[in-house]
Each structure stands twice: as structure tokens, then as C-alpha cells.
Structure 1
Amino acid sequence: YPAGLPDPKDSTQAYIEAKNHLDAQIKTLENFKGRPLFIPGNHDWYTEGLIGLEREENYIKRALKEKEKDPFLPENGCPIDVIEIGEDVAIITIDTEWYLTNWDKRPDINDKCEIKSRDKFFLELEDAIKDYRDRTTVIAMHHPSNSYGEHGGHYSLRKQFYPKKMAVPVPVLGTFINVLRTTSGASIEDNNNKRYRELMKRVTTLAQYSDRVIFASGHEHTLQYILENNTPQIVSGSGAKEGFTKLLNGSQFSTGKMGYATLEVYKDGSSRVRFYGVGENNNEEFLFTNEVLPPTQVTFEAELTVSFPDSVEASVYTDNEIEKSRFYKGIWGERYRKYYGTKVKVPTVRLDSLMGGLEPVKKGGGHQSKSLRLRAKDGREYVM
């Protein structure tokens, strides 16, 4: 920050400053026993594009001495990568700047990527969400889906007077600049930008394939917890800089203080977010906590029948659903109502004895179907 990691041959001073910023972040991991993970944002692309991004990626790899597990994802300026944390958590990392940036100005952007189109990216994201729908799935992306800070069109009173870090206040002009920025969506880094909205609407829609998705982002120099569109959004981007934000709509927590957020995932499937800020005398200050996802392991008590008929008759549609008036049939015809209403007699099976006994593993299905994956005692899997 603010422009990735410059080439020391071009500017020694800029390189040293950027290096110090990276080293300060890396130093926080000295006693960290887990897997460190850095994801790129828009500023990391600002110096020489893909070349500068890979320079930063390689620097972090060398500094952390990580050989097997890559600490910088996605790699090589590509759009998406997935890592598993144990058997209960998956992290889908997305380089949102890859999607937002102008590809015409970056002809080399996909040279090292298997995914070479935005449509293919969405297909990969959809598959990843479906594959891990039975786990807590964190979608880590720099740009948030929702925000009530400056990138979301909300500005402080000071920003109305000093919109562009000007030395002299410009009250009327300042407000005009802010309104123009919000309404025009000229910057690809703002929520109201056409491509930004396109990306986030699609990502949010795909997230609905799972009820265990959490968005984790930065971008805004604020701390926010937002619950909208059935998906919780954690914004933690004020590690080194303060910003402005409002508590609106689905916001559960919002502050412009410097600080950070933690996400804790428990064995029962539940998760909790905690926000910490800088208090008096630069001491750590607890700010807010909230449950993010409820437990998946729920105790269910009920008296269930163990007696089933040998066979069952059923049809796709009931008689009431296929019965139509003469007028209706005269316009639309008979179609296939007869077949959809035909009852079929099928034998009843018990999962505990079928194929030697089957155990439900996970639910499945896609756009038009629903399925259940089952596993036999010999390890074979079946889909019902």
C-alpha cells in the first residue's frame, strides 16, 4: 500500500517504503501457528500490473519461507483458488481486481491462468461453492459485496470540504464531487460502478447455493459486520488507517476506528466474529461480537415410525394438478398431463439394509435437481 511493491531499480525510496509496510504485516505472524494467507487487492496491481503483483507474491513467499503451502492466493494474478482447513472449513480466495480491471490495458493478464474469461470464473466459483456446501465456506475477496463506507457512497462531513485531500476547503464543490462519484460509478473500486455491481450480484447469487457461506473482505478502511442477502459480510480493512462508515440497512456493527476482526469456527459448525480496535494508550480494545452461523449439529428428538408399507404408489403430479377444463385443453392441448399424472408402484427400501447399509454423506443437486449422496460400508458411494 498504496501501490504494491515497486521495482527497486525504478524507485529505491518507494520500494523501501512498500517493503516496510509488508514487513510490518509479516511480523504479526511470528507466533502464528496456523497457515498464513495473503490475498491481493486493487493497490497490489497499481505498479506494473501483473509484473508488480508477482513481485509482491514472490517477496511474501521468500519472507515466510513457505515452500509447499502458498501463502499468497490466488497465484500468478489468476482469479480463484481454494484451500481446505481441516474437514469442516474451506476458503475460496478471489482476486476481485482481476475481474474489475480493464483487460484491454493488461493483455498479459491471463497468460498463466487456466481461467481466461469472466464467465469461466463464475462457473468455477459455482462449482466450488457447491462442492463445499456442507462446510463453513469463507469467500475471501478484497472488495466487499456490501459496504456503507466511502466506496459505498457514504462520506464524512470533512470529506464534503476536502474531497481530494485538498489543502483548501471547497464545501460546495466537495459535495458535488462526492455526489458525482456516487451516482456515476466512474471508479471501478466503488460499489456503484457497473462492473463492480455485476461482479457482486453474481457472487451473492451463487452464494445462495449454500447456507454456510461467509464473505470476508477489506477495501474500506473501516470495520463492518453486515447481514444482507442471506449472507454475512465481514469488512476488516482498517489495520493501518481510519475511515468513515454508517450503520445502515443490514449493518449490525460499523466503525471507522483502526482495528481488525477475527472469525472463529467451532466444532459444532457454528461461528463467531469478534472486532477489536485501538483504545486509550494504544491498547487493544474489544468492540463487538456476534454469532455468524448457527451450529449444524442439532439434537433432534422425535418418535419416528419404523413400520413402512412394502410398496408405494406415486405420480409426478396429483389428479387435481392435471385436471383442466375443456377451454384450457382447447387452447393448450393435452400435452403430457396423462403421463405426469400416471401413478407408478415402486417397492419401499430401507437405507440401513439397502446395499448392505447406506449412510447419508451430503446433499447435492444443481439448477434443476436435488440429490443425496450415500456411502456403503465398503466405501462405495451412490447418489439418490
Structure 2
Amino acid sequence: MLTYFLIILPTLFIAYLLFSYMQELKYKRKPYYKLSEVGWQHYYPDPEARLVHTVAMLGDVGAIATDGTDPVLAMLEAWQLENNANSTVLFLGDNLYPIGLPPEGNRHRKLAVDRLDVLLEHFKVYGGQGIFISGNHDWLKGRKGGYQQMLLQQNYILEHGGENIAYLPENGCPGPVAVQLAEGLLLVVINTQWWVQRGEKPMGKKDGCPYESIDGFYDELSKLLRSNRHQRILIAAHHPLYSNAIHGGKFTVKQHIFPLTAAHKRIYIPLPIFGSIYPFYRQLFGAYEDMAHRKYKKMRKRLLRILHRYSNIIYVAGHDHNLQHFEVQQNHYLVSGSGSKTAFVKKGGKATFTLEQPGFFTLNYYNTGEVWIEAHITAEDNKAGQVVFRKKLESILREQPVS
């Protein structure tokens, strides 16, 4: 019996880890499709339908190259040339790594300004609009003093950007801010970083926010969704509500066995069992930016309680550095966070589609009322990239009964 425990069980455990690791390698950077979506290539919008408005949704672009070689920005430029009017570009937060836009004299200042200037350059001859949302890195990685640092970025963008540039919600307020993109298509922007931010954050009329407590936000969001239930609503934020990646508590076998690779990709020191402490902690309790953290969990629970009452919602976020699509209770949840970095995403679960590749989602709204999403990734032989997923977002435009 002792031999069984000392030899056979560890051998089986090691074999399981090796198998899991090989499976991760097999699917790394390859798209996962839910069985019902395997034939997505054969479905297209009605050729008679007219495109009314299109939205490019880029998250976590904060590590872009500034020398003109960035493949995601090249793909965005090609998209903008094709969709110069009646279009919107959403930057879903973490616009600048590692700490947003620091004050003058900080060693990260020059690179941050260079990256912002490159992004703003894309809107000088673009006929559509650009909307920036803040993420945790834009708020000094969620630390104290992040509110003031976020304001530095907001003010720089508004000062150096054109008339077609906005930074929403203004002044770090939670939102919601509504923008009518087209007849029948409403954009709602919320600042999810507000809930998980440490230190000072704005609230009340003294800070330019329209209510005195966070309950006012939920009331405003509920009223906004209820009065616009006849429209298709795109909600844009930084933090996702569903994710098969690290902020959703999903870790690789490699992260359990070689945990120090999180600090540097070349530190391959095996620490089995001990290496699992950190992933398990983040799954159970979470860092400030994880779904498991009590503040994030509370925000997510209350938002979903409101959103699940409707069936016309498309919620898009960044935060996790990959592309994901979920369909839950007739609403659609996107993660479009691979604007400049990529990271592991687990296949399966509630996901319809996942992929660890640089790129972004687009949303296309037609005069027939149809909404289609497409996942675009970079391609070496094509500046415009390639489409690796397409889906018509079916929904019934009505308010769901409260359960």
C-alpha cells in the first residue's frame, strides 16, 4: 500500500500534468470554437443589407510599437480606411503600460507620450470618432494616486486629440454615459475601474459626477437600459464579466509547475505544489483586478443582475489579453484585450470562441437591425489581417421578467 502511494499516485499525477501541458501547447494560439460555431465561415450578412455603423473595439493597446511597425495598429489603419465614416474606435482601457501617463520627470513619461501620440495620429484624417476608456494601468495600476494620474491622461488626450476624440466617462466618474451611434444602436460607457480602485476616486457633484453614492449609478444604468430596450445596446468597459483567462481564475499547468515564469519567462525553476499556491489564491480570493476579489465580485454580481433582465445587450471589455465571446441568457459578452499583448485563454466552459492572438473585435450594425461581430487578428502577408470568427448576434428586443 505504501508503494502504491509513493510511486503509482505520483506517477499518475505527473502523467496527468504532462498530458494537460501537451494539450495546452496543442491549442496555444489556435482558435477554439464551440461545436455550434464550427461552420462560422459559411455565414455572412445579407448582401442586400446596408452597413449603418461599425465599431472597432481594441483593449490593452498600452504596449504598442511607436516606430510604425505595430501590426495591430496597421490593421486598425486598414480598417479605418475602409470604414472612414459612420464608424467608431473604442479603446477599452490600459491605453498605456505600465502606469498610465505619469507626470513630467518620470522615466516612463516619454514613452507614454510617444504611444499616445501614435494612437491620436490615427484620428487626424479619420472621419469617424474615437473613444478612450480608462483601465487599471491608466489609474497607476489601481494604486493610491491613480485618480490624478488618470486625469493627466484624460487631459492630454482631450488637449492633443481632435474634435472627434472623447475620454469617457469624464473625470473618472463611474458613468453610465450614453452615446447614440446610429438609429437603433446605443453605446453605453462605464468605468469599472472605479469599483476596484484604491485610494481617492471621484463621487458627487464636487467631482463632476451626477450622484452622491454608487447606488445612483445602478439606478441610472437601470433607467437607461429600460428606456432603451427597443435598441441594440453596446456596453463598453475595461473589466470583463465573463472570462476564461487569468482574471477569470484560469491558469496554465506551466504556471502551477513553473510559477516564477510569471516574473520572467525564462525562470524555469520547477516548484510543484508550492507553485500552485499563487494560482489557487487568485482563484479563491483574487488580486484587486480579478473576478474573485470581493470588490470585483460585488460589482460583477450587481451588474449581471441588471443585465440579465434584458436580451439586447452586447458587453465588451479588455483586461485579459486575448479574444473571447460568451453568450449568456441571450446577451453577448466579449473580451477584446489583445491590442498589444497576448496571454493564455482556456478553451471550453461557457465560451463560444476563444483565441490567444493579437487583434480585436468589430461590431457591424445593418439597416435590417442585424448585428454581426467579427474577430480580426494580424497576418504577416496581409496588413488588413484576417477574420477568424464571425457571428450574427440573435436576440429578442424585449425586457426579461425579473426572476
Equivalent residue, structure 2, for 1:344: none
2:390 aligned residue (284, 289, 310): 289
TM-fit CA distance, 1:29: 3.3
Q: Which amino acid aligns with 1:50?
A: Y
Q: Which amino acid aligns with 1:288?
A: F
Output the TM-score relative to the length of structure 1.
Answer: 0.71
Alpha-carbon RMSD? 2.4
Which is greater in Rg? 1
2:168 is equivalent to residue 73 of structure 1:
yes
CA distance in 1 between partners of 2:181 and 2:165 (Å): 14
The answer (yes or no) to whether the contact 2:100–2:139 under 8 Å persists in 1 is: yes
CA distance in 2 between partners of 1:366 and 1:230 (Å): 13
Equivalent residue, structure 2, for 1:6: 102
2:135 is equivalent to residue 34 of structure 1:
no
2:375 is equivalent to residue 266 of structure 1:
no
TM-fit CA distance, 1:364: 8.5
Equivalent residue, structure 1, for 2:283: 182
CA distance in 1 between partners of 2:335 and 2:128 (Å): 21
CA distance in 2 between partners of 1:49 and 1:108 (Å): 11
Q: Which amino acid aligns with 2:307?
A: A
Q: Which amino acid aligns with 1:255?
A: L
Equivalent residue, structure 2, for 1:153: 249
CA distance in 2 between partners of 1:129 and 1:70 (Å): 25
Q: 1:61 to 1:8 in 2, by over 3 A?
A: same
Runs (5+) with no aligned partner, structure 1: 297-362, 369-384
2:268 aligned residue (169, 177, 181): 169
The answer (yes or no) to whether the contact 1:259–1:276 under 8 Å persists in 2 is: yes
Q: How does 1:94-113 map to 2 (within 5 A)?
A: 94-102=190-198, 105-106=199-200, 110=204, 111-113=207-209
Q: Greater RCO between the two (CA within 8 Å, min separation 6)? A: 2
Same amino acid, percent of matched pairs: 28
CA distance in 2 between partners of 1:30 and 1:234 (Å): 28
Q: 1:25 to 1:174 in 2, by over 3 A?
A: farther
| Structure 1 residue matching 2:340: 3-state secondary structure | coil
TM-fit CA distance, 1:112: 2.7
TM-fit CA distance, 1:26: 2.5
Q: 1:101 to 1:291 in 2, by over 3 A?
A: same
The answer (yes or no) to whether the contact 1:270–1:294 under 8 Å persists in 2 is: no
Q: 1:273 to 1:31 in 2, by over 3 A?
A: farther
The answer (yes or no) to whether the contact 1:163–1:177 under 8 Å persists in 2 is: no
TM-fit CA distance, 1:179: 1.4
2:211 is equivalent to residue 115 of structure 1:
yes
Q: 1:129 to 1:246 in 2, by over 3 A?
A: same
Q: Which amino acid aligns with 2:154?
A: E
TM-fit CA distance, 1:256: 1.0
TM-fit CA distance, 1:108: 5.3
2:381 is equivalent to residue 277 of structure 1:
no
Runs (5+) with no aligned partner, structure 2: 1-96
Equivalent residue, structure 2, for 1:58: 155
Number of residue pairs matched by the alignment: 295
CA distance in 2 between partners of 1:26 and 1:248 (Å): 37
TM-fit CA distance, 1:231: 1.6
CA distance in 2 between partners of 1:294 and 1:366 (Å): 15
Q: Which amino acid aligns with 1:285?
A: Q
| Structure 1 residue matching 2:131: 3-state secondary structure | coil
Q: 1:276 to 1:364 in 2, by over 3 A?
A: closer
Q: Which amino acid aligns with 2:231?
A: R
Q: How does 1:211-290 map to 2 (within 5 A)?
A: 211-281=311-381, 283=383, 284-290=385-391
TM-fit CA distance, 1:34: 1.7
Structure (1 or 2) with the greater helix fraction: 2
Q: Which deviations, in whole Å up to 9, do the C-alpha atoms of 1:34-85 show, x marking residues without a partner?
A: 221111111111173221111111111122222xx66110000101111111
TM-fit CA distance, 1:149: 0.6
CA distance in 1 between partners of 2:241 and 2:196 (Å): 13
The answer (yes or no) to whether the contact 2:312–2:396 under 8 Å persists in 1 is: no
The answer (yes or no) to whether the contact 1:78–1:112 under 8 Å persists in 2 is: yes
Q: Which amino acid aligns with 2:310?
A: S
CA distance in 2 between partners of 1:237 and 1:108 (Å): 26
Output the TM-score relative to the length of structure 2.
Answer: 0.68
| Structure 1 residue matching 2:390: 3-state secondary structure | strand
Q: Which amino acid aligns with 2:235?
A: I
The answer (yes or no) to whether the contact 1:142–1:217 under 8 Å persists in 2 is: yes
Q: 1:196 to 1:71 in 2, by over 3 A?
A: same
CA distance in 1 between partners of 2:165 and 2:124 (Å): 17
Q: 1:51 to 1:282 in 2, by over 3 A?
A: farther
CA distance in 1 between partners of 2:132 and 2:392 (Å): 25
Q: Which amino acid aligns with 1:125?
A: L
TM-fit CA distance, 1:249: 2.2
Once the two structures are overlaid, the 10-residue window that deviates more, 162-171 or 149-158, is 162-171
Q: Which amino acid aligns with 1:191?
A: M
CA distance in 1 between partners of 2:348 and 2:336 (Å): 17
CA distance in 2 between partners of 1:176 and 1:282 (Å): 43
Q: 1:28 to 1:113 in 2, by over 3 A?
A: same
